[in-house]
Structure 1
């Protein structure tokens, strides 16, 4: 009798709302202890987040909200969820609690990236090493620095299900943001990949993209990409710049080149990226970036308007 080729089932009580690349995936867990949502998407998609959660829960409240990290595409819906569910208990990763309490948008990267995130509150701080009872199962919290120094991932050992956030995707991992600030973090990416390999997940729920079941191949892809970035950090810088530009284009859908240049000139990450390449955040450098997006099929140029594809 041949072994089953059916992919392993998700844990009971767990639903994945796969979002577009502007918003992180949302994971809803329901069990005897109530309901919990992991990550809340981007601010401009808050209405859709509320609709997805409301449709799944019906008249039941959302009891808990957890963020894997505090990039805007993972916590931009927090404020809307807190307004819709006033008793919602919110827990964030360690390391940035004071920045959230004071609402320091510069320290939280929202000004640096030119992204939006409405102010939200928090009630608790997640601690790596703790176990949370969610959806009738025990989920381990693990530190996962690299993409973000404070990021965490969640692992359920009975079904070996991993909620990997941006530490591991099917085709790589998220931009290593500390590297954009001159802080070496590629080694931390590698250590997090080693941790995931040790956990040996059967099912991976990434921060972006579809659920997948071949962590071994994904880890190999991620390590090859990491090796390329370590050999040539400028390649990572170029990749990150295009990702940030594409993210904003997803939000805008279309923008004039003059407005785009003005945004670049007031966005610290873009200004820093241009400076490190001996460029100004406009002119030829901007033209090259736009050309690369168009050539890759990520955008279309119509006259002086750049359109998202």
Structure 2
């Protein structure tokens, strides 16, 4: 039902300049062919972002899958149904990860062990997934509360974050114990095609996308999405990071690809119009930076700035992500010399417009 509601919501959007695939969006368990030797599945998620796309590439003797979905009994059953149904003519032979976020690798460990297959990932994404899994099994660490207090969060919000965290922790299963390491610029053979690995930061530390020069196809992961922007946030593990600078720089790496590239995003529909979308993503963040700088008419904590930038998210239970994204934009403004920051007497970091 969540998928159906999302599809109806898409109809009400303003007309998009992008050209979306005419292939009907697959329902759970369906794996239609998008191009020769390339199939598309959409896996449901129990979050606001209610699905993730995974791609199956025909390697002759087996399927290579790109991304895995979350760890849950329902997801395990869905994979079993796909492999016993539309993909039953050959086994699952390899799993490749775009990056280490829960909706992409939550089930990876189970699939790798269940099918005794190799797992390919960039090193940093694999390590971060292992760290997040280990941390999720323990109480929140003091540095998390320190990060939140420094950014103006009260004790009630810290407690709410701990509760929300426990809800999501089970969706990330134990990551695979070994990897075949993916390197930027290297070639990965999948589905009878050669794919150039393009790594980028901003959304995650070493996100991998895959570009087929021969057929102008980009498996974009979360780096280039069609209707939404990936989360660009500052988190407790690296509280002074500038991920927005990394993300904006990453867009230049994709700008050199042909305009007729078929983009396969991890969320939303496959589309043509890469250059238009790259420009829109950049413009979105520039406008957000301008709006945030205008809102800083007095010294503000990240919490206060997030209320100005994301008022709806701050009120509907997504304050933690809203603050992390606000921090990313504050740090970029500070890096550009447009604002300054200092700690007040209570140890709260305040940002001020120059």
| TM norm structure 1 | 0.68
In 1, Cα distance between equivalents of 2:312 and 2:222: 14
Correspondence for 2:191 among 116, 131, 135: 135
| Larger deviation, residues 141-150 vs 95-104 | 95-104
Over 3 Å counting, the alpha-carbon distance change for 1:98 and 1:210 in structure 2 is closer
Correspondence for 1:119 among 174, 181, 188: 174
Q: CA deviation at 1:82?
A: 2.3
Q: CA deviation at 1:104?
A: 5.0
What RMSD over aligned residues (CA atoms) do the two structures have, in Å? 3.7
| TM norm structure 2 | 0.60
Correspondence list, 1:231-242, <5 A: 231-232=290-291, 234=305, 238=310
What's the counterpart of residue 261 of structure 1? none
The secondary structure found in structure 1 opposite 2:57 is strand
Over 3 Å counting, the alpha-carbon distance change for 1:239 and 1:178 in structure 2 is farther
> Unaligned stretches of 5+ in structure 1?
247-263, 277-309
Contact 1:169 1:209 in 2 (8 A): yes
1:27-81 Cα deviation digits (max 9, x unpaired) = 0000336320000112233322332344232152211101100000011121332
What's the counterpart of residue 77 of structure 1? 107
Contact 1:33 1:134 in 2 (8 A): no
Correspondence for 2:42 among 4, 7, 18: 18
The structure whose Rg is larger is: 2
> Unaligned stretches of 5+ in structure 2?
1-18, 23-32, 141-160, 293-304, 328-354
Q: CA deviation at 1:240?
A: 11
What's the counterpart of residue 162 of structure 1? 218
Over 3 Å counting, the alpha-carbon distance change for 1:80 and 1:60 in structure 2 is same
Correspondence for 1:94 among 113, 116, 123: 123
The secondary structure found in structure 2 opposite 1:155 is strand
In 2, Cα distance between equivalents of 1:209 and 1:243: 25
In 2, Cα distance between equivalents of 1:243 and 1:67: 33
Over 3 Å counting, the alpha-carbon distance change for 1:270 and 1:175 in structure 2 is closer
Q: CA deviation at 1:83?
A: 3.8
